[in-house]
Structure 1
């Protein structure tokens, strides 16, 4: 990543145009380059005109600012029965991520504001969401190797409109914003005016409620992570010990464990079903989206269904410079790097990694003071099922660093106080 380059998601609409302009003004004296990322969804008959507007505006701004415009046209279409809103959001973020990484920008700015946050909370509440859903959109999140920031999440949209008028910024109007088929538009056009008439501070109050929910969700995640640190090796859940938690903590820990394994929040129905059916027995199987949960000798794990290969060549090298999720489609999974205070590998080991298949003869040291032993013996000693042994072996300078199913080799563990990361392997695309 280039520390002097930042990306802005730019639809050409009022809010993102204002954000891009403000970013250009702030970046200029700092010598920071700005990359505007535009996604052509192909849904509107005006989509070509919107792209042309952005290209013309970018050329004008390039006379005074270090600005680059990147655009992409989505090649997919919503499947039958898909929510157009959900499809567009999913594909847009995937396209933004791809363009940002290609441009070497480690930060992407998004133009959501306070009323967007309030609307998100209401929509989630009407859908029966839990605390995580009511938390709305995060102000900052690190995902897929990028930092996503919403710097205006606490700003009133009227302040953004005033900024646009003050700087005489031209922008597009998306006609789909008047389409009442979409839930957010129905809320914005039919419900919100009446709500604000009855409660003038509705946007601020609901945005504050989302912030409180966000803090509560963070506390629940910390509690779940603390519980799972004693119950989970990042692959298998110790079910007998899990049963020793209170009912509320069991549900909280199970929900978090499933999210880690599946890559997305688990459906409430699955959490409830598993919570009931794991109460007794030491074995069982449950089909889930993209795989199968297996309870084997009191340990719950996820075995993903074999995916249709999308690439024929496996990645052979990887550079990790920060915490994040690193997709390796050639290997069929995601390498997750998380910050750690202890028990992690120093960043210096991860700058230039070599990815290898098992060839036989590899030696792995499972703990300080323990002898290095063959991977086969270590897998057997750790009772690691065969389906959890796939994925790449990570080497740095010829030293084995990480093995899926076993974790970090003890010989690369750093001292507390260093910048440390823990690694784990997740099968599947990690979406």
Structure 2
């Protein structure tokens, strides 16, 4: 089977040159090239551009180049007040990833070149970005199960122009590239000419600065990962241990921890706020995108948005006869039952279960030699925060069997030799509940 490599192409000069060069190189390596084109629906000429790229690929294929076209038309629109650039970029990468996977590609080539990298470095600097932002665009990154490559980051714009002329390649001129509403266009049209007149090597120098920033960013991430070993675990960030790192290493570690929770860089304003407020006492919470950060008993944890369980009918009954996962979308989670030799509930108790919300007055016994106490006191003793007390109480024949966060009531633990199941409550995020 022939290998497949994808190239993202808008039909503009840079991506046209990259697509053609990739197809020529693929001929000698028995590769198939998949040309990915996204129709954003934002320009009146978008239909014509779509047809241009498709026709160009068909013409090259007839001429013997191993290239085929794969296009997608976006149907959404940015919400009122959202950045058109940001919406288009996110929607484009999502569509490119889907097209590449559907076409059997494992790598996607992007046509950014050295001037693009220099412009990105300047824009990030003007926005007050830190080292990670100044790293600009990586030459290689793995995302969405694909490898994204920018093979021309060290290539000049002039060399690309020369390639287009040598092979007489037609391309699209996007009129929106001169629209001053977009920051990159303002930089490119008003600032860049003056900058290169004053500093002819600006493109090379800024590209080198981005590479230095990338190296520094990787080192900072390595330091942060090592620091987090001493102050973070599956239970969250231990605030006292984190404070012991000091302000600078603490901020660096916090940025990496937050990125690990939500998959994106946290705003610098939030990092600064947390540095000033995390040392406080008592519960606290801070918003982080669609998630919420919560401090409780000296730990910072991240809680992702859950399904709108209020709009769902909560399940009132359940039958468990074997180990497995029992989804309860009305409660925003699932009960996980697993076979154990001891410490579980006899399977016979689980055939007819009642699921209830807290009503007040429920008593839970945490151990055989310990008295039954109210759920509120048991939650406090176990350090279960208020926001994790909303799972279903599990009853059988009127007897409380299981409480999320507390476990199995000691009065129903099975005897040696009985077939038993342990129960665990797993809260599901919004995408799964």
TM-score, L = length of structure 1: 0.73
For 1:86, the equivalent position in structure 2 comes to: 86
Q: Given that residues 132 and 217 in structure 1 are in contact (C-alpha distance below 8 angstroms), is that contact kept between their aligned partners in structure 2?
A: yes
Q: Given that residues 135 and 212 in structure 1 are in contact (C-alpha distance below 8 angstroms), is that contact kept between their aligned partners in structure 2?
A: yes
Q: Given that residues 114 and 153 in structure 1 are in contact (C-alpha distance below 8 angstroms), is that contact kept between their aligned partners in structure 2?
A: yes
For 1:24, the equivalent position in structure 2 comes to: 23
For 1:401, the equivalent position in structure 2 comes to: none
Distance 2:31 2:41 in 1: 31
For 1:361, the equivalent position in structure 2 comes to: 338
* Deviation at residue 388 of structure 1 after TM alignment: 12
Q: Given that residues 2 and 32 in structure 2 are in contact (C-alpha distance below 8 angstroms), is that contact kept between their aligned partners in structure 1?
A: no
Distance 1:91 1:245 in 2: 39
Residue 109 of structure 2 is aligned to residue 109 of structure 1: yes
Give the 3 Å change call, closer, same or farther, for CA 103–116 of structure 1 in structure 2.
Answer: same
For 1:12, the equivalent position in structure 2 comes to: 11
For 1:65, the equivalent position in structure 2 comes to: 65
1:8-407 equivalences in 2 (<5 Å) = 8-63=7-62, 64-234=64-234, 236-281=236-281, 283-307=283-307, 358-362=335-339
Structure of greater Rg: 2
Give the 3 Å change call, closer, same or farther, for CA 144–231 of structure 1 in structure 2.
Answer: farther
Distance 2:27 2:299 in 1: 55
Distance 2:150 2:209 in 1: 17
Distance 2:388 2:157 in 1: 51
* Deviation at residue 104 of structure 1 after TM alignment: 2.0
Spell out, residue by residue over 1:119-162, the C-alpha distance to the aligned partner (whole angstroms, 9 max, x if none). Answer: 00111111111111111001101112111100001110100111
Q: Given that residues 132 and 213 in structure 2 are in contact (C-alpha distance below 8 angstroms), is that contact kept between their aligned partners in structure 1?
A: yes
Q: Given that residues 38 and 51 in structure 1 are in contact (C-alpha distance below 8 angstroms), is that contact kept between their aligned partners in structure 2?
A: yes
For 1:324, the equivalent position in structure 2 comes to: none
Give the 3 Å change call, closer, same or farther, for CA 190–95 of structure 1 in structure 2.
Answer: same
* Deviation at residue 384 of structure 1 after TM alignment: 8.7
Secondary structure of 2:138's partner? coil
Q: Given that residues 303 and 387 in structure 1 are in contact (C-alpha distance below 8 angstroms), is that contact kept between their aligned partners in structure 2?
A: no
* Deviation at residue 43 of structure 1 after TM alignment: 0.9
Secondary structure of 2:338's partner? coil
Q: Given that residues 113 and 153 in structure 1 are in contact (C-alpha distance below 8 angstroms), is that contact kept between their aligned partners in structure 2?
A: yes
Unaligned runs of 5+ residues in structure 1 are 310-329, 333-355, 364-370, 391-424
Q: Given that residues 261 and 426 in structure 1 are in contact (C-alpha distance below 8 angstroms), is that contact kept between their aligned partners in structure 2?
A: no
CA RMSD of aligned residues (A): 3.2
Secondary structure of 1:137's partner? coil
* Deviation at residue 295 of structure 1 after TM alignment: 1.4
Secondary structure of 1:62's partner? helix
* Deviation at residue 41 of structure 1 after TM alignment: 0.6
Secondary structure of 1:245's partner? coil
Secondary structure of 2:41's partner? coil
Spell out, residue by residue over 1:12-33, the C-alpha distance to the aligned partner (whole angstroms, 9 max, x if none). Answer: 0110011111111111222111
Give the 3 Å change call, closer, same or farther, for CA 291–113 of structure 1 in structure 2.
Answer: same
Distance 2:278 2:269 in 1: 14
Distance 1:260 1:188 in 2: 34
Give the 3 Å change call, closer, same or farther, for CA 239–40 of structure 1 in structure 2.
Answer: same
Give the 3 Å change call, closer, same or farther, for CA 199–429 of structure 1 in structure 2.
Answer: farther
More off after superposition, 98-107 vs 49-58: 98-107
Distance 2:388 2:343 in 1: 21
Q: Given that residues 3 and 106 in structure 1 are in contact (C-alpha distance below 8 angstroms), is that contact kept between their aligned partners in structure 2?
A: no
* Deviation at residue 359 of structure 1 after TM alignment: 4.0
* Deviation at residue 428 of structure 1 after TM alignment: 5.9
Q: Given that residues 58 and 69 in structure 1 are in contact (C-alpha distance below 8 angstroms), is that contact kept between their aligned partners in structure 2?
A: yes
* Deviation at residue 97 of structure 1 after TM alignment: 1.1
* Deviation at residue 99 of structure 1 after TM alignment: 1.1
Distance 2:235 2:108 in 1: 31
